[in-house]
Amino acid sequence: MLKEGQLVFLLDDKGRKHWLRLERGMVKVPSLGVVDGGRLLQSGDGARLVLAGKPFVLFTPGTVDLMGSLERGAQVITPKDAATIALELDLKDGDVVIEAGLGSASLTVALLAMVAPNGKVVSVELRSEFLEKGRRNINRTLHAHLWTGHLGDVKDISLETIADAVVLDMPDPWEALPNVCRLLRPGGRLCIYVPNTNQLERAVKDMRANGFVEVRALENIQREMEVHEMGVRPSYETLGHTGYLAFGRLVRSTEVN
């Protein structure tokens, strides 16, 4: 059942999403006009509607929908990389994740969905404008209550939380590794996201030097397929390089007798 205050979108016949928050009475939808909110509440997820003589489908958003609708600034982590990060970090309900480099909170939206309903995501961001933009984007989701944002530097910040996983999306992640080792539990997992190969090389070497094992690096390439009545071909727009990923697990610093 749809509820008042819930974020939904109307999908038109050209594939465009028109976003709105449900409420009773007349609701103004940017780029579309005014619609009857009570009618939408009664329609349900996946309902076909005709509004002002035009066909629409009403949907509740998934994580990928939300990631694609965010207010943007800096380059965002795309769903293809976010999915790999979540799987490689073995994220599940109840996990605690610390991320450094909030940006537009695209990855944060995915992390929150993976650790809900009992987990927590703690974001550390150097720039106040990014922290506030990220907060606005996160508040559009169902899991905003699981998120905490801190203005500061992950290289030296003190947090009461001990994490199951840490994600570093920053230019010099190796500088944060000594502090990350204090914030991450033994056996916990680390992901580093960087745009250039020289950054990747140093990150991997320093991960190994700081007690991480099973360290591996990769790049995701994704290509959509165009399916038509007359045949199938790869899309001309390949989502190629977006960044390099490095993963590792932290080893306990002392031997267990």
Where do the domains of the chain lie?
A: 7-59, 65-250
- Rounded Cα distance between 171 and 173, Å, is 6
Residue 256 has pLDDT above 60, yes or no: no
- Rounded Cα distance between 122 and 95, Å, is 11
Partners of residue 8 on adjacent β-strands:
20
pLDDT at 239: 60
pLDDT at 235: 83
Determine whether domain 65-250 maps to CATH 3.40.50.150. yes
Q: Please state the rounded mean pLDDT for residues 54-66.
A: 93
Edge-first strand order for the sheet with 7-12 is 17-21, 7-12, 54-59, 47-51
Question: Residue 20: enclosing H or E segment and its boundaries?
Answer: strand 17-21
Q: Please state the rounded mean pLDDT for residues 32-45.
A: 89
Residue 162 tokens, joined: 């001990």
pLDDT at 257: 57
165-189 pLDDT, tens digit per residue, is 999 999 999 999 999 999 999 999 9
pLDDT at 55: 93
Question: Residue 39: enclosing H or E segment and its boundaries?
Answer: helix 37-43
CATH of 7-59, one of 3.10.330, 3.40.1130, 1.10.3120, 2.60.120: 3.10.330
189-218 pLDDT, tens digit per residue, is 999 999 999 999 999 999 999 999 999 999
pLDDT at 238: 64
Residue 102 has pLDDT above 60, yes or no: yes
pLDDT at 71: 79
- Enter the pTM of the model: 0.86
pLDDT band at 234 (very low <50, low <70, confident <90, very high): confident
pLDDT band at 113 (very low <50, low <70, confident <90, very high): very high
Query: pLDDT higher for 223 or 159?
Result: 159
Q: Please state the rounded mean pLDDT for residues 148-158.
A: 97
pLDDT at 29: 87
